[in-house]
Structure 1
Amino acid sequence: MTSVPAPPPDRLPDGFAVRLDPRTRRRDGGTALLGGSPLRLLRLLPRARDLLRGDRLVVGDAATAALAARLLDAGLAHPEPVAAASADLTVVVPVKDRPAELDRLLGALRADRATAAVPVVVVDDGSADPAAVCATAGRHGARVLRHDVSRGPAAARNAGLAAAGTDLVAFLDSDCVPRPGWSGVLAGHTADPRLALVAPRITALESAAGGWVERYEAAVSALDMGRHPARVAAGTAVSYVPSAALLARRGALGTGFDESMRVAEDVDLVWRLTVAGWRVRYEPAAAVAHEHPATTREWLRRRAFYGTGAAQLAARHGAAVAPVVVSPSTAAACALLLSGRRPAVLAAGGVLAVTAGRLARRLARPGQRAPAGLAAVLVLRGSAAAGRTLARSATRHHWPLKS
């Protein structure tokens, strides 16, 4: 397994702003915040309440920097990145036998004013027709590195990473088309000195085919992490981001992706970075379109291939690979609700009520009544989130479970 360096101890800089997630709620007269992923209740000391009177916090000293960092790492708030007008950036494109798609991607980069002049490194990972790849890259002024034999996407990205001479490196797969302004939005996140990776939202590339596969991928693609910004870490709502489109701080990646992994190397890198103490962010305000599979056969083949990475991830990261982590009470309630029968639905309500009662007793403060209403909200929100996760996992390609 490749290693990553430790993050710097630097605090968030003055002027850095964070804003509470719209789904974060103030509780107990503003003395606590409820939200994040996993759902949590964060009690605020009087000094923190004074600093956070609204939904926005601007770093101006050590105290506000510490509070902003705590809110970020709890998933209760997100950065307000200021789009960088220009970034010290190199774009790395791994490719194998896709000259037409490569031409489309490079054309989009050159048409975007923000990336028109950035250096681009195309890594040809053993294409059958290297002359076609070289000619396509040459028309757009891109540098070409070649592997005579395919070594996999991780090795191709690492070759580009090693060749980059800039502080920031963006990885884009050849079947992607970045939307205008994507790089500036992502680069704005690097004002956080502990930010290692930030990923855009991956949307469906428009197509005239219009089959069921394309409609499905446009609605619930495994590459689309949704419309909400998020911190990225194992066990959260956004546990990883795909390497089809990423912006990285070159100094944070160390030796980069694990070249022994032909699949799930992106998940592995994200988890190694977060364990080491780096931050990884998902920023849907930046978008990159992706050419999804168009046929049932191609869709099934790709899903099966992605699924082969679960064993390697489990060997490296253990239980973190489980896509579904639910409590026994939540699992029981969901099972009862799925039966659809009235007695079972009533029983599910009873299970949740007992769970809420136990949680209320745990949340009770000395000399005060148990907060039954707050406990009920926590249980209902947690159960709803678990239900959404279970539904989404029914079509996922990673299936180890943890209870």
Structure 2
Amino acid sequence: MTPVPGPLDTRLPSGFRVVLDRRTRVLDGGSALLGGAPPRLVHLAPAAVALLAGRGALAVTDPTSAALARRLLDIGLAHPANGRDGPRLPAPGPADVTVVIPVKDRTDGLARLLAALPPGLGGVIVVDDGSADAAAVAAVVHRAGAELVRHPSAHGPAAARNAGLAAATTDVVAFLDSDVVPQPGWLEPLLATFADPAVGLVAPRIVALPPVRSWLGRYEAVRSSLDMGLEPAAVVPRSRVAYVPSAAMLVRRTAVGPGFDERMHVAEDVDLVLRMHAAGWRLRYEPAARVAHDHRTTFGSWLRRKAFYGTGAAPLALRHRGAVPPMVLSPWSAAVCGLLLCQRGRATAWAMVIMVVAAERLSGRLSRLVHPRRSAVWLTGLGLAGAIGQTGSALTRHFWPLALVACLFSARARRAVVAAALAEGVADWWRHRDHDPAGPGLTGYLLAHRLDDLAYGAGLWWGAWRNRTTAPLRPVTLGERSQPRG
């Protein structure tokens, strides 16, 4: 695959505003910040402390503030705030956007999407990827005044999007699948993000298209694989938002090179995100923009889709080594989790000893803080909580076939798996319960969540076997870098 070109200019313009992420913890009177993606501790120089001055926001006015804002954005401690208040910076407008829509035999959804597009766009290109009734698709496209590109036979969504990308002439291209409906005001927050010249891709939040029906529909409304959550984020591998789906995304046409890898028929969007990140582009997730998606909610099609997503892990792991691991743990947290799984008093005691030693060693590295030991204990606790959450999720999602075999022979394994399934499920429900008012109750959520994990894990193992690799099943340690292979 031809490499993605990197950005030529990363300088933030004068007037560009950033605000600290709500998860960023301010320490020692503002002289240190903790947070980001992945989390890190950043000590600020006196000039940087003065620029922030407890306000939690920063406007670019000179090279110093521009460098600080860039640093805060790049490590995920802050997010752009342009267009939310204050003057709007120069950024692309609707006339600079071409919407590309791949479609195959979904004329009703296509008509619904075309009717929801805002006026004044630079172009709308529909790529018919081998529909059985080409005339029906053409009729819908012509009624909407859009441009039609047709593939006589299906080449896959990546090839369809690339065909539209090649035909576009505007600076920005919006990829929208034919089963989505943009909500009013969706485009403006996304375009405002491009005021940063280093941003090559931005994606909206994907929400459920009403009406929401059935218990699976209620689960998808709060836990869809396409929904990256309520908070804005930098899109960074192995972080809270590690990818964004191509069901709805905007890209700079010059930032994506030849586009999607047409050899991939699943996870081609994640592959593009990883290649752009490796090339130095900044990628953003902006939930203030919302695009509704017609989720699959019939039982069979839902399970097949989840398993299909799982099959994409193996080709991704082979192309981008270490970028899509099942777990990312520090050595000490991995040891603690392993000891706790033993369910033995002596093992638990050793786990506590390891935690104390890890916290004490960390406090030595935090000596510049006013309260290094207190901060070290807090950070160690957060790290352990995250490690336990990852372990519980991995047992019931990525490694459930191995966990099932262990349960057949060990009562201790059965206790561990049942505890993980319940605890992880309840914690996951608590985190996602407010994502949509149509969400399910705890019991319905637990059942759907466990089925989701079983289907995804089955697809992951099938993909690993088919590609003859264990790469998507290998955990990585913190600090181990992912390496794209192209």
Structural mapping, 1:190-201, within 5 Å: 190-201=194-205
Distance 2:302 2:52 in 1: 47
Aligned match of 2:208: 204
CA change 1:231–1:387 in 2 (3 A) is: farther
Aligned match of 1:214: 217
Are residue 374 (structure 1) and residue 375 (structure 2) matched? yes
1:386 CA drift (Å): 3.6
User: Which residue identity lines up with residue 402 of structure 1 in the other structure?
Assistant: P
Distance 2:343 2:129 in 1: 52
1:330 CA drift (Å): 2.1
User: Which residue identity lines up with residue 377 of structure 2 in the other structure?
Assistant: A
- Contact kept, 8 Å, 2:60 with 2:66, in 1: the verdict is yes
Are residue 69 (structure 1) and residue 70 (structure 2) matched? yes
SS state at 2:41 partner: strand
User: Which residue identity lines up with residue 263 of structure 1 in the other structure?
Assistant: V
Are residue 299 (structure 1) and residue 302 (structure 2) matched? yes
Identify unmatched segments of 5+ residues in structure 1. none
Structural mapping, 1:321-336, within 5 Å: 321-334=324-337
1:100 CA drift (Å): 0.8
1:312 CA drift (Å): 1.3
CA change 1:223–1:346 in 2 (3 A) is: farther
Aligned match of 2:262: 259
SS state at 1:34 partner: strand
Which residue of 86, 91, 95 corresponds with 2:93? 86
Aligned match of 2:420: none
**Superposed CA offset, 1:279-328 (max 9, x none):** 00011111111111111211121122222222211221111121421123
TM-score (norm 2): 0.77
- Contact kept, 8 Å, 2:97 with 2:174, in 1: the verdict is yes
Structural mapping, 1:68-147, within 5 Å: 68-82=69-83, 86-87=93-94, 88-109=96-117, 112=118, 115=119, 117-147=121-151
Which deviates further from its counterpart, 25-34 or 242-251? 25-34
Aligned match of 1:223: 226
- Contact kept, 8 Å, 2:14 with 2:61, in 1: the verdict is yes
CA change 1:355–1:91 in 2 (3 A) is: same
**Superposed CA offset, 1:129-155 (max 9, x none):** 111111111121111100111111111
TM-score (norm 1): 0.92
Which residue of 163, 167, 179 corresponds with 1:163? 167
CA change 1:244–1:369 in 2 (3 A) is: closer
1:343 CA drift (Å): 7.8
Aligned match of 1:400: 473
Distance 1:213 1:347 in 2: 42
Distance 2:210 2:349 in 1: 45
User: Which residue identity lines up with residue 6 of structure 1 in the other structure?
Assistant: G
Distance 2:136 2:392 in 1: 43
Aligned match of 1:14: 14
Distance 1:101 1:383 in 2: 45
Which deviates further from its counterpart, 218-227 or 116-125? 116-125
CA change 1:266–1:8 in 2 (3 A) is: same
- Contact kept, 8 Å, 2:37 with 2:236, in 1: the verdict is no
Distance 1:226 1:56 in 2: 22
SS state at 2:291 partner: strand
CA change 1:70–1:100 in 2 (3 A) is: same
Aligned match of 1:3: 3
Distance 1:187 1:24 in 2: 25
User: Which residue identity lines up with residue 353 of structure 1 in the other structure?
Assistant: V
- Contact kept, 8 Å, 1:95 with 1:174, in 2: the verdict is yes
Distance 2:293 2:137 in 1: 20
Structural mapping, 1:13-52, within 5 Å: 13-52=13-52
**Superposed CA offset, 1:27-64 (max 9, x none):** 12321101112111000011111112121110111111
| Same amino acid, percent of matched pairs | 55
- Contact kept, 8 Å, 2:337 with 2:391, in 1: the verdict is no
SS state at 1:376 partner: helix
Which residue of 295, 306, 311 corresponds with 1:308? 311
Which deviates further from its counterpart, 34-43 or 322-331? 322-331
SS state at 1:282 partner: strand
Distance 2:10 2:33 in 1: 26
Identify unmatched segments of 5+ residues in structure 2. 398-452, 461-471, 477-486
Which residue of 241, 246, 249 corresponds with 1:243? 246
User: Which residue identity lines up with residue 309 of structure 2 in the other structure?
Assistant: Y
Distance 1:347 1:217 in 2: 41
User: Which residue identity lines up with residue 361 of structure 2 in the other structure?
Assistant: R
CA change 1:299–1:391 in 2 (3 A) is: farther
CA change 1:245–1:392 in 2 (3 A) is: farther
SS state at 2:321 partner: helix
User: Which residue identity lines up with residue 56 of structure 1 in the other structure?
Assistant: A
CA change 1:391–1:191 in 2 (3 A) is: farther
Q: Number of aligned residue pairs: give it.
A: 396
Distance 1:131 1:150 in 2: 16
- Contact kept, 8 Å, 1:321 with 1:400, in 2: the verdict is no
User: Which residue identity lines up with residue 22 of structure 2 in the other structure?
Assistant: P
SS state at 2:127 partner: strand
- Contact kept, 8 Å, 1:124 with 1:133, in 2: the verdict is yes
**Superposed CA offset, 1:331-368 (max 9, x none):** 34445667888887766554433321121122224xx8
Distance 2:340 2:37 in 1: 24
